[in-house]
């Protein structure tokens, strides 16, 4: 006879048991199961909704005042099509041209026989900044995924199907970013991405249902390898570097020159 | 004309044509309900206010996608739930960035510590429930609120959040487990005290 798990009792409590009649029969024949269910019911019955603060009768008006200015605005695509805003297209055109130049420079810079050093440095910085920001976002998403798995509470097993999908997506991205990091000379970032990729591959290729022992082993490996810590530190550093490089130089040497 | 539009479908049709008064009327009808849902999920008044505004803005921008197969209020509820969860995820990401490894663990341990002696004495089950709710992940909390307080089935919640029922049930199991591990020692202690 199949053992009754806590999960079965929880589903029964919420009226979602696949076979409620069978569960009732089991409880009638087993005081132990009945007692477990009564204990669960007694606890969950006490979980009452936290008191919701009352909003006054003018609340709708306040909400309306908050959103009305935004509603009056046309959607972004209409604003861009507005002839008055035609000059924006000039900006868009210039930005697009710049992007094309940056992209092409990245592709052919190694073939140029006599590059202008200053121009290449600028373009390289531009490329690095885009890479840093992208990798920082990627590390943040990976960190959230790992934290979710670390903090999951398991009974016999836990279903990680949705986490596997995320891991699969992140794994593909991780590989691309690692290659880009190598090309940009960011070897420590590339090394971290490689380690992360290994974990993501393992997750993505694993089963939907993971046993508590396997999950515990996974947690221990993460903790021992310091991976989560490094993901967080490197992510923060890349974000800070990006922010610094986008800020105008108003202090330091340039400020002293004024 | 707006007052004559007795049902929400008429109001939605009018709002779709750009009639601001019609959308205003929908805000009047639904803002309190949206706030209640947002508060249950976020557990914070300011966050709930932000969610209310974001919900109506998102609804206005996506009004053309409302197909009328369900009630407008049902559609709006779904947007509210997703806005609330988005906001909690953003906050969780920010918190994770701000806290060091030790900090995260410390906060989590504090949040989960039932401290039965103190709580049994004060008998503050409600406060402990709030504390556990705050310690749940955004997904766990949203799912638990919808299942336990609002009575939606796992299938309905899955449709709302774009997740499979199995994942929803797992989130419920985890939330219930955390609730139990926090509340039951305290309740047992109370029981013992009364017996003594």
pLDDT at A258: 25
Q: Tell me the nearest-neighbour CA distance from A40 into chain B, angstroms.
A: 8
Q: Could you tell me which residue, B90 or B34, shows the higher pLDDT? A: B34
**What is the pLDDT, as a whole number, of residue A37?**
96
Q: Are B2 and B22 in contact (CB under 8 A)?
A: yes
pLDDT, residue A115, reads: 47
Identify the helix (H) or strand (E) that includes residue A45.
helix A31-46
Higher pLDDT, A100 or B170: B170
The interface residues of chain B toward chain A in range 80-119, judged by CB-CB distance below 8 A, are: 89, 92-93, 96-97, 101, 104, 108
Closest residue on chain B to A164 (Cα)? B167
Per residue in A101-125, pLDDT (tens digit) is 665 666 555 554 444 555 555 666 7
**In contact, B97 and B164? CB cutoff 8 Å:** no
DSSP state of A250: -
Average predicted confidence (pLDDT) for chain A:
76
Average pLDDT value for chain B: 82
Q: Which residues of chain B neighbour A229 with C-beta distances below 8 Å? A: 101
Question: Nearest 5°: phi and psi at A210?
Answer: -115, 135
Tell whether B188 is within 8 A of chain A (Cβ).
Answer: no
Q: Confidence band (pLDDT; 50, 70, 90) for B113?
A: very low
Q: Is B27 within 8 Å of chain A by CB?
A: yes
For residue B130, is pLDDT > 60? yes
Q: What is the pLDDT of residues A53-76, one digit of tens each?
A: 999 999 999 999 999 888 775 554
ipTM value greater than 0.90 = no
**Cβ partners under 8 Å of residue A178, min gap 6:** A190, A193, A194, A197
Is B133 an interface residue toward A (CB < 8 Å)?
A: yes
Q: Which residues of A touch B108 (CB under 8 A)?
A: 151
A161 vs B43, B167, B184: nearest CB: B167
Name which of A49, A67, A158 is nearest B56 (Cβ-Cβ).
Answer: A67
User: Distance, in angstroms, between B126 CA and closest chain A CA?
Assistant: 7
d(CA B5, CA A46): 43
Alpha-carbon gap: B112 to the closest alpha carbon of chain A (Å): 12
Distances (CA, A) of A221 to A28, A162, A171: 44, 22, 18
The per-residue pLDDT for range A153-201, each reduced to its tens digit, is 656 667 777 777 778 878 877 888 888 888 888 888 888 888 888 888 8
**pLDDT computed for residue A34 by the predictor:** 96
Contact A44 B148 (CB under 8 A): yes
| pLDDT of B155 over the 90 cut | yes
Average pLDDT over every residue of A121-134: 72
- Chain B: closest CA distance from residue A255 (Å): 30
Check whether B158 has a pLDDT greater than 80. Answer: yes
Q: Determine the distance in angstroms separating the CA of B69 from the nearest CA of chain A, rounded to an integer.
A: 25
Give the span between the Cα atoms of A124 and A106, in whole angstroms. 8
- Residues in A closer than 8 angstroms to B39, CB to CB, are 52-53
Of the candidate ranges A24-38, A63-77, B146-160, the one whose mean pLDDT is the lowest: A63-77
């Amino acid at each position: 006879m199949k053992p009754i798990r806590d999960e079965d009792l929880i589903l029964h409590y919420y009226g979602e048991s696949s076979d409620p009649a069978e569960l009732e029969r089991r409880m009638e024949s087993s005081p132990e199961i009945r007692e477990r269910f009564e204990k669960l019911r007694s606890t969950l019955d006490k979980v009452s909704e936290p008191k919701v603060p009352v909003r006054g009768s003018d609340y709708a008006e306040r909400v309306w005042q908050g959103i009305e200015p935004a509603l009056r605005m046309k959607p972004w695509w209409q604003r861009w099509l507005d002839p008055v805003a035609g000059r924006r297209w000039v900006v868009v055109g210039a930005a697009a041209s710049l992007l094309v130049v940056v992209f092409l420079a990245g592709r052919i810079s190694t073939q140029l026989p006599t590059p202008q050093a200053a121009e290449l440095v600028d373009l390289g910085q531009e490329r690095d900044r885009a890479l840093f920001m992208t990798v920082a976002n990627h590390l943040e998403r990976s960190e959230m995924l790992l934290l979710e798995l670390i903090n999951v509470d398991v009974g016999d097993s836990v279903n990680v199907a949705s986490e596997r999908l995320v891991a699969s997506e992140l794994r593909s991205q991780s590989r691309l970013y690692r290659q880009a990091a190598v090309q940009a000379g960011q070897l420590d970032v590339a090394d971290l991405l490689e380690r992360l990729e290994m974990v993501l591959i393992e997750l993505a290729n694993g089963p939907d249902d993971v046993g508590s022992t396997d999950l515990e082993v996974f947690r221990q490996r993460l903790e021992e390898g310091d991976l989560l810590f490094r993901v967080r530190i490197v992510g923060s550093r890349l974000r800070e570097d990006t922010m610094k490089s986008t800020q105008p130089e108003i202090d330091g040497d340039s400020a002293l020159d004024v | 004309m707006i007052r004559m539009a007795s049902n929400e479908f008429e109001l939605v049709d009018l709002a779709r044509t750009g009639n601001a008064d019609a959308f205003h009327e929908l805000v009047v009808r639904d803002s309190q309900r949206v706030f209640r849902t947002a508060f249950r999920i976020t557990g914070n008044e300011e966050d709930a206010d932000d969610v209310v505004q974001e919900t109506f803005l998102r609804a206005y921008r996506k009004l053309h996608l409302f197909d009328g197969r369900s009630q407008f209020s049902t559609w709006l509820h779904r947007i509210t739930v997703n806005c609330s969860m988005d906001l909690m995820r953003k906050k969780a990401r920010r918190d994770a960035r701000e806290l060091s490894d030790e900090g995260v663990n410390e906060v989590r341990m504090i949040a989960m510590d039932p401290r039965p002696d103190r709580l049994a004495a004060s008998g503050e089950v409600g406060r402990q429930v709030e504390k556990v709710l705050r310690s749940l992940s955004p997904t766990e909390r949203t799912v638990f609120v919808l299942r336990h307080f609002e009575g939606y089935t796992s299938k309905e919640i899955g449709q709302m959040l774009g997740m499979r029922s199995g994942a929803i049930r797992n989130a419920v199991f985890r939330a219930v487990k955390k609730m139990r591990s926090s509340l039951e020692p305290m309740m047992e202690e109370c029981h013992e005290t009364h017996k003594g």
